[in-house]
Amino acid sequence: MRSYDLSPFYRTAIGFDRLAKMLNESQRSENEISYPPYNIELVDENAYKIVMAVAGFQRDELEIETEHQALRVTGRKAKKEQESTYLHRGIATRDFEHKFQLADHVKVTGAQLENGLLTIALVREIPEALKPRKIEIGAAVPNASSTLIEQKAA
């Protein structure tokens, strides 16, 4: 994949810095190794699930944080006092940090570690003011100016 320099857009586009930052991060992450492997599942219309394969990690070695519409999952393996000598090492237990960009109104509702799989539950909670609402069609439409006059009189 080609790498694009977006710095000229920073000089002329005001308020689009978040979009440019997301484009830069997506270019960088495609070239990096995706460890640990993970799935993102659509559970329901407004519910999601991230499942990460974190074999060999204990609960106290994993950390989940959310900040400014970003989810960060970090794994720091505790150092062993005695290192083992491996004839073959196929299970990776190195430290990792994985970041996910969350859409507006997406919140983390919980996390669970079972059988080497870390499951993070997310839900999109759209505020009532932003939800579509149905407007009933009535027989008469109130005049805006008459409504203002009635409010001032009251």
Q: How far apart are CA 126 and CA 106, in angstroms?
A: 8
Helix (H) and strand (E) counts for the chain? 3, 7
**38, β-bridge pairs:** 52
Higher pLDDT, 85 or 147: 85
pLDDT of residue 77: 87
pLDDT of residue 18: 64
pLDDT over 90 (residue 78): no
The pTM of this model reads 0.66
Mean pLDDT of 135-144: 73
**Is-contact 130 46, C-beta < 8 A?**
no
H helices of the chain, where? 7-12, 17-31, 144-153
36 preceded by a cis bond (ω within 30 of 0) = yes
pLDDT category, 48, cuts 50, 70, 90?
Answer: very high
Mean pLDDT of 102-108: 89
Mean pLDDT of 2-22: 63
In whole numbers, what is the pLDDT of the chain averaged over residues?
A: 80
Higher pLDDT, 2 or 76: 76
pLDDT over 80 (residue 142): no
Q: How far apart are CA 111 and CA 66, in angstroms?
A: 12
pLDDT over 90 (residue 71): yes
Classify 66 in phi/psi space as left (phi over 0), alpha (psi -120 to 50) or beta.
beta
pLDDT category, 60, cuts 50, 70, 90?
Answer: very high
